[in-house]
Chain A
Amino acid sequence: MHRITLLLALSSLSAGCTYDEGLIIRNLTGTVRVSAEAATRTVVSADGTEVPLTDAKFIGPVYLGLYPSVIPAGGVERYSHPERGPQYKEGIAGDTYPYGGTSIGDFRFSCFEELKCDVVSGRFVDFDDIVDWFTLVGVPVIDEAGAVVTNGDYMRQTCYDLLDVNTDREVRLTAEDRNTDGKIDKQDLDFVDDGNGFVAEFTIYQQEFAWDQEQEDCEPGIDCKGFALWGFMDAPGPSLNFTTCDPSDGANSVPINDYDAEFRGGAPYKDILNSPSKYITAGDWVSNDGYQWDNIYDQPELLIDTEVQ
């Protein structure tokens, strides 16, 4: 009798160890494809002629969010847009209440105030690449003394000085050997040209899955209707700046305070996924269809395929 009681007590205790919270949490992965057209601009060449230039550096930060649904163009905005919650203040659109999200590319401290909000991570191979690029598109890098920067090493040293670091990895502006082929080149950037546009991988870490609570006879995370992945690309403005960048924020929340440089580096606004329409302007690119993510094991490819007019 005593043995049975003991066994019952132990089994009830061990049952507690298998309590299932019913949460489905997983790293979600996939790719984003941006059309070559979205990465093309007309630039003035050295001989004064205008020529089209296609480069991954024209791809601004891409913001990805997980939403209950995506409303087609003409619904809540002139472009496709995530569904919104209730509007409770006149003149202020309702929040989209995303379940989660990420970005491909981020604003980092760009070491010169003139470059604030102009440099996105994952777009440049090295510091020479940054300096050469801004020279090529007609907005050369200017240092704090007002002189044109022509040397990547000078920019690197400026970054090291202001940030008190001594490796490129800590500056976080330039590429690393992502594909481990022994060299750092364009294949190591976030977006890689595969001949049919530019493709980048993404991971949304530790995402809790959300599904249709009304749907019956389905397995959540496998075949129930899930949340929708949607995103947009903030295209660079005429001076290669970005509307999603808050110039009063950034630089790891600590203002750089050197004798000849006192500024913040810029950082993404904090409500971009909640209120994307606040930041999307003509010339940006959005995902027209989004992707309804039913199976958490899927690795979708999201198309950023529609230019906002």
Chain B
Amino acid sequence: MHRFSVIALACLTACDYSSDFLFTGQIEGVEDVLTIEGPDGQYVEPAVIQSYGDIAANTIFAEVSQSLTAELGGATLEFIGTGGPVCIWADPEVAYWSQAIEADPSTFARQFAYPDNGFDDGDIDIAGGLSVFYTGSPGERMGDFVVFYEDSLGNEVPISLVECLPKQRESLSGTYVTAGRGAAENCTIAGTEVGVAYTVALTAWSVPLDDDRLSFGVLVARGECSDLLLLTKAELEPNRTAPDAQVQECVIMGESLEAKDAGPHYGRPDDLVWGGSLEFEEAFCRADGAERLDKFCEAEADLKFENGEICDWRAVTDDAGRCYCGDINDTPDGGGL
């Protein structure tokens, strides 16, 4: 009898188990589920973009923290339909690639020969639709656009009423996937209804490990997202071999922000943008005149060495420790895979 009591008590204590150590805890001044309002505290107004400079001026920059719960965090914003297409473009910090490790990489792969700093990248996924169908609570918890309909037999049918779900073709398998770590996403809601509220959910799938703060830029603009890409190409004249997935990184630039003010900032807060991040993004998207990415990384490493500085990949605090590229010593050698 005593034995059973001991086992029962042991089971009860197990219920008191806390997994708090798995969470980073609250970061002062940074929300884990952020509500982005317009500058006037109202809806975000879809911007009219006529030049490349308009993009930076109308993009909202902000930071969210690691989620404080087991649910994903992120940010939401609302806008009013214009009667025409509205583009949602989001770019989480900063840019990510898989290192090309072959001994003699192709011309295309050569730019990725240096490793990325995988500790400074986060991932945001966009979903958008009519606010009336959004299941989350802005500022409280993220949601989706899945509602349930009960058919005449009384069976519940989940219906996704999302109208904006960016997908990219994954070339090898032919399947469609959402963009991953550090990659910009966009989607166009083709025909918004005039005067009707739309919600955009920016779900933070991963937060950079170096500071547990995910900075990002988000632009709500009238028209098609493809127009923003064309403006970017016209301005930066990227190498013709650069695929759109690379060039998209330069539509919104400077989203990697120092951990000082989580925003939201209306227009790019140049005083908060990490030094060198604009050059890094230009190298990534192969802008005309920019260094090739692997050369940028080599130069970054050389400069740190000359200045006697060390990259703080895992816990960046200042410009001296800020490195966009990874540690070349992490390159796997023969048999390393």
Contacts and interface: CB of A to CB of B under 8 A. Distances in A.
A, B assembled together: yes
Interface of A: 68-69, 83, 85-86, 88, 95, 97, 210-214, 225, 227, 253
B329 interface: no
B152 interface: yes
B312 to A, nearest CB: 47
B157 A97 contact: yes
B155 interface: yes
A85 B157 contact: yes
A210 B153 contact: yes
B154 A214 contact: yes
Contact of A85 (B130, B133, B151, B154): B151
Contacts of A85: 149, 151, 157, 159
Interface residues of B, number: 12
Given A88-B130, A225-B153, A253-B174, 12 more contacts: A68-B151, A68-B153, A68-B155, A69-B152, A83-B152, A85-B151, A85-B159, A88-B133, A210-B153, A212-B153, A212-B154, A213-B153
Nearest to A85: B149
A68 B149 CA distance: 12
A171 to B, nearest CB: 22
A225 B153 CA distance: 8
14 contacts: A68-B151, A68-B152, A83-B151, A83-B152, A85-B157, A85-B159, A86-B149, A88-B133, A88-B161, A95-B159, A97-B149, A97-B157, A212-B154, A214-B154
A85 B153 CA distance: 12
Most buried by B among A69, A85, A88, A211: A88
B104 to A, nearest CB: 30
Contacts of A211: 153
Nearest to B3: A5
Interface string B132-153: 0100000000000000010111
Nearest to A71: B152
Contacts of A210: 153, 155
B157 to A, nearest CB: 5
B154 A213 contact: yes
A88 B159 CA distance: 11
Contacts of A68: 151-153, 155
Nearest to A254: B174
Interface string B148-185: 01011111010101000000000000100000000000
Contacts of B153: 68-69, 210-213, 225, 227
Nearest to B163: A89
